[in-house]
Amino acid sequence: MSARRAALPQLVPRPHTLTPHPGRFPLGPDTALRAGPGAGAAVALLRELFAPVTGGPLDPGAPGGRIVLSSDGDPAELGAEGYALTIGPDSVLLRAARHEGLLHGVQTLRQLLPPAALGAGAGPLPGLSLPCLRITDGPRFAWRGAMLDVARHFQPASYVRRFVDLLALHKLNVLHLHLTDDQGWRIPVPGYPRLTGTGARRRESEGDGTPHGGAYTRAELTGLVDYAARRGVTIVPEIEMPGHTRAALAAYPHLGNRPDVTLEPWTRWGVCENILGVHDEVLDFCRAVLDEVMDVFPGPYVHIGGDECPATEWHASTAARERAAREGLSGPEALHGWFMRTVADHVVARGRHPLGWTGNGAELPGAFTVAAWLDPDHGRTAALRGHDVIMTPHRSTYLDYPQSADPAEPRGQDGGVVDLRGVYDNEPAPPHWEPEATRRILGTQAQLWTEYASTPAQLEYLAFPRLCALADTAWSTHRDWPDFRRRLDHHHDRLAALGVRARPPHRDHDGA
């Protein structure tokens, strides 16, 4: 029993059912790869990932054992993103009801290879084989994501593509790109060239004396959208408003409440008092930005921020107070809800879903899907108010907090520790919640804020292995910490082969 158990494939996230069978399917230069109905894109991805290590072209007519992918499966049986994988000694059959399921199955096949086969430039590996087995699999939640903050520290499109690859490996299907903030604006917008000029570069960060900047071109962003889609990942763009906008105000002071004051992109972290004004030109600006964002990012969701917006400047501004009165609002604080509603109407008019950061959703209209980032119970209250909810509670999904209280741990966000166990124990829809709340929980995602992570190595240290725990929580209904730890031990070898600078397992002092 123990030998058989040791040989069981250790997959992350955990598949719904896995039944091992005797034997192995040999993979080599003469292996054939065939596309059944609707499988073209998944076959292309499998060929891209497998051909270098099998050493053959994976032609449909090759004389060896065959791998067949087909999306003619029954959705009632397999689910929208599910798949069934049968590996026998002579053939591999991967079936799904949809393209997305096939892409997840391709990632499972990838994890069934020896870890060395995942490394870039591994080259042909003689004697490769896959274990015979049957897997039926599908996710618990439709929204399984990670937010990457490219505003605090910019990462080039080439790195974002690698990050997409890492998400796809873990069957995570949403990349939320935080594209703008006080410290930098990263997306070009026609008619507003200074956003990615003045607005994309800051003089220093917290007194370090080192300038930082960067912005994407439109072609890089549309290329990223396409690259991610081919891996089953949807990009959700975020444009922060009306707070967290100082980089835009540095570029265009007339968008603020004090057009006479010249600002620079913020050189500090935290919550900034400079926010957008509420005059018509600002609303026109927001609509122009969102029009470009919706042209570049075709996905259903557009995140429009909404968090941490002090109303100090609105209180001090005659124009803002007059706007509040004209709109029949109780006072300048109420401009926040009015602003979000007004901008969201534009997103809704174009057939998209606005998404916002919120506490309990009270300030946002029902059209908003909300990311509940404070108390997890806010997610429940927001759901009961009728919002769809993404669970993003900071105490278990903010990966910018340090992973332990060890003083040797790299600097992270102040105010807490989020350890691996804490991420794993995040329950996006607790069983004691009302069914009408649970029904509206779309899923969960990790947050990689980057105040303290400027390089890919620092980012990946924060992300891994905690993102593996989040992927397991979002995908599988099965909660079993020792089982997760066992699978993760194997999975670390895959991450190492991929060059991921994960936090080493020996540093975990979390009661494994």
Could you list the active site residues? Answer: 181, 244, 308
Distance of closest approach, residue 399 Cβ to ligand ACM, in angstroms? 12
* Residue 77 phi, psi (nearest 5): -85, -40
Nearer to ligand ACM, 449 or 464 (CB): 449
How many CB atoms are closer than 10 A to CB 374?
16
Say if CB 288 and CB 350 are below 8 A apart. no
Distance of closest approach, residue 178 Cβ to ligand ACM, in angstroms? 9
Say if CB 343 and CB 293 are below 8 A apart. no
Give the one residue of 141, 143, 314, 357 binding ligand ACM; rule: CB under 6 A.
Answer: 357
Give the one residue of 30, 165, 307, 508 binding ligand ACM; rule: CB under 6 A.
Answer: 307
Nearer to ligand ACM, 13 or 443 (CB): 443
Distance of closest approach, residue 239 Cβ to ligand ACM, in angstroms? 14
Angle (CA) 159 415 202, round 5°: 45
Residue 375 makes contact with ligand ACM by CB under 6 A: no
Give the one residue of 308, 375, 493, 508 binding ligand ACM; rule: CB under 6 A.
Answer: 308
Kind of pairing, strands 174-178 and 234-238? parallel
Give the one residue of 154, 373, 475, 484 binding ligand ACM; rule: CB under 6 A.
Answer: 373
Distance in angstroms (rounded) separating the CA atoms of residues 499 and 489: 16
Query: Mind giving me the DSSP string for 7-66?
Result: HS---SSPPSEEEEEEEEEE-STT-EEEE-TT-HHHHHHHHHHHHHHH-S---TT-SS-E
Distance of closest approach, residue 394 Cβ to ligand ACM, in angstroms? 6
Nearer to ligand ACM, 154 or 401 (CB): 401
Helix, strand and coil content of the chain, in percent to the nearest 5, comes to: 40, 15, 45
Nearer to ligand ACM, 181 or 292 (CB): 181
Distance in angstroms (rounded) separating the CA atoms of residues 348 and 356: 13
Nearer to ligand ACM, 105 or 305 (CB): 305
Distance of closest approach, residue 397 Cβ to ligand ACM, in angstroms? 10
Closest CA to 67 of 18, 15, 38, 27: 27
Q: Rg of the Cα trace of the chain?
A: 24
Q: Which two tokens stand for residue 465?
A: 């292995």
Nearer to ligand ACM, 100 or 181 (CB): 181
Say if CB 91 and CB 25 are below 8 A apart. yes
What is the binding site for ligand ACM (CB under 6 A)?
307-308, 357, 373
